[in-house]
Structure 1
Amino acid sequence: MYKSFLIDLDGTLYRGEELIQDAPSFLAWLRDEGFSFAILTNNSTRTPQQVAEKLLRMGFYVTAEEIFTSSLATAEYLKTKHAGKRIYPIGEEGLIEALQKAGYSLVDGENPQDVEVVVSGLDREVTYEKLARGALAIRAGAAFIATNGDKALPTERGFLPGAGSLAGLLSITTGVDPTVVGKPSKIIVEMALNRFGFKQKESLIIGDNLHTDILAGKNGGLDTLLLFTGVTTQEEAETSTIRPTYSFSSLTEVRQWLMRKG
């Protein structure tokens, strides 16, 4: 029986500004039943506090301390591999704040030689110049880190370009593949288990994307549960070589399944 859950955000609890209707009651039920859970999101644009505030507005009760973003994971990862180095970030407030709070020196990338690490996340105000500076720095020898590999972001408008799309552009331009910290990497999964004190064999990862959520769980040694509420359709799952441990159409079905398991 699972005692703790790592739960995705975009496409699992909401799609952009569109609430997935049974999601708030599912999290409330987990809390009432004494299960532990944490939000594990590839979204690098918001701070944990901003994520918690959005969830509160949508009817959830989740604290900032229960949220682990790819930006936080990236800042932690940099401490182990690139401590004290000058960083050129491509991203929004969530990434900038995480790097600043971790004590990194952020540079504007105007001089490629000043950049020791390029960190690429989702940036919805990205410009050609921002990408050009990142590419020139990578070509000059800077390490290349991506917060996550999401190529598409589920929203109420449909699927929009994700952080992985921007990292992919830099990779194609430079011929250098980034180190990916967020899902599907096991890096973020191992960090989350450690941060929240969850045991690997007692934890289940829940998400809507085979290529990020489910693959991350597999890479991190966790059982996985795929929801057909976001990126991956049932038809795609049936033909994919990536196989989740379980799959369901809704969180209501997941709750009923967990109740049957006792």
Structure 2
Amino acid sequence: MERRVYMKGLLIDLDGTIYHGKSIISGADLLIQELRRQGIPYLYVTNNASRTPASVAEHLRSLGIEADAHEVCTSALASAEYIASEISDGKVYCIGEAGLREALADKGLLLVEDEQADIVVQGIDRSFTYDKLAGAVSQILGGARFVMTNPDLLLPTDSGFIPGAGSIGASIQAATSVQPIIIGKPSGILMDYALDRMGIQADEALVIGDNMRTDIAAGVAAGCRTALVLTGVTTRENMDTHLKETGLQADWIFDSLADLRIWIEQNIGKER
């Protein structure tokens, strides 16, 4: 049976698409089971730079979703790759948590505190202090380039929202008047990194996410086709507002992961 849509890979968002904090979104487990059953390649692509891929995979498994570390692509990994391509033997001043620091170390990058750095990279840091802010500002004013893992101002939790990497970055930008190079969504850099990991072209990939401003915008920026699921940030109620704000349109829109799974069963997969 000939399929109407053929994709070589899917790039799937996590928070708001597969789970909300510690709670699985209805139908996420069945969606992943269907992808595995059909042998459709995919990566989990997340702006979250705090966790290592192994930690993200462990969290998914705790929710009953099959996952391996090699299936996880984070903005921390993409940031480390970008920085290593810019300064393979340079010095990095890092504001971030374990996921970002481990990714930088795995690329052989030298992390410094008191020495002048070539690049300041900043992600979410829940132990962020005035001293860290002062250090980043001093480094940037001293000539270091500024890289930010992702611009998310808020992060959803089980009890509400907390400040994200973008909120920390806003304070650095205000103090230095320097705009960062943004790696994560809505930038296409993270998507380009994920595409390289999969070994496919942009027009061969489908980006799946819940947020018009980040997931869909990043997919469009990278040249991918996009599927919006109304399970998180963008909802049926605010969708028109988000469409107007971004000036973008997803290729497909689904009310639930169950609807998406049925569509995939009927339209995507290996040609038969």
TM-score under structure 1 length normalisation? 0.94
Aligned positions, number: 259
Please give the secondary structure, in 2, of the residue aligned with 1:225: strand
Q: In the alignment, is residue 126 of structure 1 matched against residue 128 of structure 2?
A: yes
Which one of the candidate residues 246, 255, 259 is aligned to 1:249?
255
3-state secondary structure, aligned to 1:103: coil
Q: Is the 8 A contact 2:52 2:98 kept in 1?
A: yes
Specify the SS of the correspondent of 2:237: helix
2:154 to 152, 155, 164: 152
Matched residue SS, 2:127:
coil
- Shift in Å at residue 69 of structure 1? 0.7
| Corresponding position of 2:51 | 46
Contact 1:89 1:120 in 2 (8 A): yes
How big is the alpha-carbon RMSD for the aligned residues of Structure 1 and Structure 2?
Answer: 1.4
Aligned equivalents of 2:137, 2:228: Cα separation in 1: 35
Q: Which amino acid aligns with 1:235?
A: E
Q: Tell me, in whole angstroms, the C-alpha distance in 1 between the residues paired with 2:168 and 2:145.
A: 16
Question: Which stretches of structure 1, 4 residues or longer, exceed 3 Å deviation after superposition?
Answer: none
| 1:195 aligned partner | 197
Q: Which letter does structure 2 place at the counterpart of 1:233?
A: T
Offset of residue 200 of structure 1: 2.0
Structure-1 separation of matches of 2:60 and 2:124:
20
1:215 counterpart residue number: 217
Match of 1:161 in 2: 163
Q: 1:57 aligns with which of 55, 62, 74?
A: 62
Indicate whether 1:99 and 2:104 are aligned.
yes
Structure 1 residue 155 displacement after superposition: 2.1
The answer to which structure, 1 or 2, has the higher relative contact order (CA under 8 A, 6+ apart) is 2
The alpha-carbon deviation at position 83 of structure 1 amounts to 2.0
Instruction: Say whether residues 1:21 and 2:19 are aligned partners.
Output: no
Alpha-carbon shift at residue 236 of structure 1 (Å): 2.8
Instruction: Look up the SS of the partner of 2:174 in the other structure.
Output: helix
Structure 2 stretches of 5 or more lacking a match?
Answer: none
Q: Could you tell me how far apart the structure 2 residues matched to 1:23 and 1:244 are?
A: 20
Provide, for residues 80-128 of structure 1, a one-character-per-residue CA deviation record: whole Å limited to 9, x for no partner: 21221111111100000000111111112xx4x6222110001112112
State the distance in 2 between where 1:230 and 1:144 align: 30
Could you say what secondary structure the match of 1:124 adopts?
coil
Verify the 8 A CA contact 1:42 1:69 in the aligned structure 2.
yes
The Cα shift of 1:144 comes to: 0.1
Letter aligned with residue 48 of structure 1:
P
SS at match of 1:126: coil
1:2-21, aligned counterparts within 5 Å?
A: 2-21=7-26
Counterpart selection for 2:228 from 221, 226, 229: 226
> For residue 247 of structure 1, what is the amino acid of its counterpart?
I
Q: How many angstroms apart in 2 are the aligned matches of 1:260 and 1:32? A: 14
- SS of 1:80's equivalent? helix
> What are the ranges of 5 or more consecutive residues in structure 1 without an aligned counterpart?
none
Return 205-214 or 88-97, whichever deviates more.
Answer: 205-214
Match of 1:137 in 2: 139
1:258 offset after TM fit, Å? 2.2
- The match for 1:235 is 237
Residue 260 of structure 1 is matched in structure 2 by 266
User: Between the two proteins, what is the percent identity of the paired residues?
Assistant: 43
User: Does the 8 A contact of 2:9 with 2:198 survive in 1?
Assistant: no
- CA deviation string 1:50-82 (max 9, x = no partner): 111111111111110111111110111012212
